[in-house]
Structures are given as structure tokens and as C-alpha cells.
A and B are shown apart, each in its own frame.
Chain A
């Protein structure tokens, strides 16, 4: 009985000589880098000051400025992801379609966005396109002149009304960029479905909607979940480049605090840590979802 139990248990890992050598080498390398940065960089670290700065609430008692930046980034990421998923799926399906009217514009858009630097795209989009688009939709009056303060859930979701225009531009930028990559993921997912599945759905006389909804989509979804998760994580990180067009998210807030206080490295390390926590949290979440999705495949 006891023999069977030990067999089933995972073998405990034991360190061998190579492991010890590697650990010693890593510790030495870290120590050397720390030593070099301590003598090579003339910088007075002031962690207490930085921590104090980050956790000091605003004058009106609301969340500290740094955390407002984190919340902005979250808001930007959530809306950006939602929008990018919808647009990306549509683009991916269009690119996979056989009708040129759908296929050509989708392909053109994807190739354009994927082959210019995101920074250039954002600058052009923000200053030329979004500037024309928002007044055209009549949103500028609504966004600028909405004066009631929100509270509760709507506030958590949308933030302060005078920043709505700002938020919308940011969400559009991030989402339009990410949609091009998501479209490619969706397309590769669609192409990965065996021809037999399409033919079988067709042979059963399913309507296009039923075919996609009950035959194709479930298979595609479980296949593309890992690359989609990667895309979502990179969207959170990429949202930092919209700080350049003054969307007040984590990176922008970080720049402002670092410049005002002179605690450059401390603040930037905190900004890095915040992104790390956000993205690690997301990857954990996705790995749980992935496991659940694949349950039916494990016997």
C-alpha cells in the first residue's frame, strides 16, 4: 500500500551540484550589478520619501494620485480589451471570408496597423482622426459639458466626466492597435479548423449563424485562448504609450510625480512594479480560465 502511495506522489526535487553552482553564480551576478549601480550611479535613494509620496491621499481625501493612475490604466485596459475583442473578431472573420468586399479592407487595415510603429499610429490617430471623429459623432458637447458628478459603479467604470473625451481617445487608440493583432489570432484560429468540420456543418444544413455558433466558435475559442491571453497582457503594457498623448494613466502619472519630486528611479520602479502586478494577475487569471476551458479534452 505504501509503495503505491510513494509511486503516485510527485518525486521531490533534490538539488545537485550544478544547481548549487548556478545559484551561486546568479547571486554573484546580482551582487555585482548592485555594486556597480551603487558606485557608478550617483543617486541618493529615498525609498521612504517615495512610499510616502505614493500613499498620500489627495487634498479632498480621495485616492492618492498614483492609484488614480493605476485605476485609469485598468479602465483603459478593460474598455480597450472589450472593444478590441469585438473589432478584432469581426476583422478576423472578414479576413477569413471569401468575399473580396470584406476581405480586402480588413487585410489592408491589419497590414497597415501591424507594419507601422504604434507610436506613429497613435500620434496620427489622436491628432487627426479622433479630432475629426469625435465632433462628427456629436460626442464633444456631450463629453465636455456633462457636468453631473458620477458616483458608485458608473464612476468606477468611466471616471470623471471632464476626462471622458481623453478616456475615449485612449481607448480607441489602444483598441484599434490591438484589434489588428487579435484579428490575426482569430484568423489563424479559423484556419486551424479542419475542412471536415465546415463540410459537416454544411452537410447538416446549418445556417451560417448556427454553423459558427455551435460548430466553429467553440473549437476556435479553446484553440486561441492562449494567444488571446498574451494579447490582453500586452495591451495592458502597451497602454503606457498613450501617455504620450496625455491620457492620464499610470505612466503619465509616474512621469509627473517623478519630475516633480526628483525621486526618479524610485517612482519608475514603483510604476514597473504596478505593471508587473497587473500583468501577473492577468496571466494567473487566464491560466485558470484556460484550464477550465480544456477540461473536456482531459480524460
Chain B
């Protein structure tokens, strides 16, 4: 009788404790290791290499602060953008902090936290090819080529806004802008502030046809589906850092100023 009681008690305690341990299981793995592995991809000014080859950028600041606040070390895993979601699913790192915009398609394969930044999408157009274009409808023509970074949120925006135009997709933003500078595409669509910055650099060749940004993106961290404990933890952190203004202050520094420009090589 006593044995049965003990057994029952034992089973009960297991039953009670199981959900409790399971709920922070994923977070415990990071705690155990003491290192947060962050997946990111080079994307100015989110994350880039400075002259010495060290990583700098908005994402890098965010990930470093997140790790410091949580008592972890941080390890960056630079990843090709095309393979960043498969790499997350294959457990190559714990979280994507890579300026990834929330989209419905992506939400089917990863779990997004609450957004931590809101970037816009802007268009920079070639002064000769797109002369006099000022309406969205001017670009929505079969004769118009629009360059964008492959696999990015901007491609989707371009398809929705300019359904008739031909979208040329490139591996990275630098190539997409070069195509417009070379006069092979009428316009390039990219996340702000890159189009604004490029227009300043190439005043004689580029202009901004629209004063308002096309769409507002919501960037969030991404974890694997079902890792609710990690999401809850990151959500809390994002909320705290949004409230105390740290996130918007860092965003301001990387996106609205060019104070960091002398850390990277002056290209173009």
C-alpha cells in the first residue's frame, strides 16, 4: 500500500514538474552553454564588416546588448541570406537577428517575436531612364525594370506595388544599386535609409521619385516554431528596451546619421 502511494506521488510529481521544465527548455539550453548564437547576414547598416573585419551595425548592437543583459556571451554566425531560415531550422544558431521583416510566408516556418524596429521601403530611380516619373503608376509598366535584393521583403513590395514591371533580383543591395547606376534598371527598391544615402552620393544620377516611404516594415527576431519560451523572453527584452528608448536611440544612430561611416571603407 505504502509502495503504491509512493509510486503515485512520484508519478504525480513528475506530471506536475514536466510542463514546468518543458516550458523553459529551449532557454535553458542557451543558459547552459552561456553563449547566445546569433544568425545574421551582411546588410548595411544592419550588420557589416568594418575596416578591420569586425562586425558592426544596428543588429550587432542589439544582439550584444541582449546577451549582456541576459548574462550570456554572444557568438555571431554570419550566414548567406538565402540559407538563413534553413540554417535556423537546422539549429546552426539560436535566433536570427538580421533585420528580418515579418511576412506571412516566413511566419509559416519561423516564429517571430514582437517587432523591435520599423524600417521603411524606399525607391531610388535613374534620372535619365525614369525622367519625370513621380507617381506609383509611372513605374507600373511592362517597360520598366526594377532592381531588388533577392529573397528580401522588398521584392514582395515591388510585386504588389508594380505588378506589371519586371523585377530584377540580385544577391545583394550593392549590385541592385549598381544596375540602376549603369542604366540597366529604371529604379531600385530597398530598405531605408540606403536609397536616401545613395541618392545623396550620386546626386547627378539618382533621385527619389516619392517623398513618402512605400511601406513600413516590421523587423523582428526569429526563432524556431514552438519555441514559445524563447519568444516570451525576447519579447520581454524588446519591450523593456523599447520603453527605455534604447532601441530607437541605436536605430537613430545607424539609420539617420552617417557618424559610423568612417569605420567602414568609403566605397563608391
User: A49–B267 contact, CB under 8 A?
Assistant: yes
**Of the 9-residue stretches A9-17, A35-43, A229-237, which lies at the interface with chain B?**
A35-43
A144 to B30, CA, bound (A): 13
Known: A56-B53, A59-B52, A245-B80. A259 touches B173 (CB 8 A): yes
Question: Which single member of B42, B52, B90, B267 contacts A56 (CB below 8 Å)?
Answer: B52
| Cβ-based interface call for A52 (8 A) | yes
Tell me the complex Cα distance, A179–B266, Å: 43
Tell me whether chain B's interface is mostly helix, strand or loop, or mixed.
loop
Say whether A259 contacts B52, CB under 8 Å: no
**Which chain B residues lie closer than 8 Å to A126 at the CB level?**
90
Which of A64, A255, A261 meets B267, CB within 8 Å? Answer: A261
Name the one of B43, B51, B54, B178 contacting A43, with C-beta atoms under 8 angstroms.
B178
Q: Does A257 contact B (CB under 8 A)?
A: yes
Total B residues in contact with A, Cβ cutoff 8 Å: 39
Total A residues in contact with B, Cβ cutoff 8 Å = 41
* Complex contacts, A59 vs chain B, CB 8 Å: 52, 54
Q: Would A46 and B266 count as touching, CB distance under 8 A?
A: yes
Please, how many angstroms separate the alpha-carbon atoms of A236 and B175 in the complex?
Answer: 26
Q: Which of A143-177 contact B (CB under 8 A)?
A: 144-145, 162
CB interface residues, B 153-193, toward A, < 8 Å: 171-175, 178, 181-183
Cβ contact within 8 Å between B80 and A46: no
Per the bound structure, the CA–CA distance linking A41 and B171 in Å amounts to 19
Does the CB pair A262–B90 fall under 8 Å? no
Assess whether A260 is in contact with B80, with CB atoms less than 8 Å apart: no
* Residues of A242-299 contacting chain B, CB below 8 A: 243-246, 248, 252, 255-264
- Report yes or no: A43 in contact with B267, Cβ–Cβ below 8 A: no
Q: A123-147: which residues lie under 8 A (CB-CB) from chain B?
A: 123, 126-127, 131, 144-145
B-side interface residues toward A, CB under 8 Å? 33, 42-44, 48-54, 75, 77-80, 82-83, 86-87, 89-92, 171-175, 178, 181-183, 205, 264-268
Instruction: Add 15 more A-B contacts to A52-B51, A58-B53, A246-B87 (CB < 8 A).
Output: A43-B182, A43-B268, A52-B265, A53-B265, A56-B53, A66-B53, A123-B83, A145-B33, A243-B80, A244-B82, A246-B92, A258-B172, A260-B48, A261-B49, A261-B264
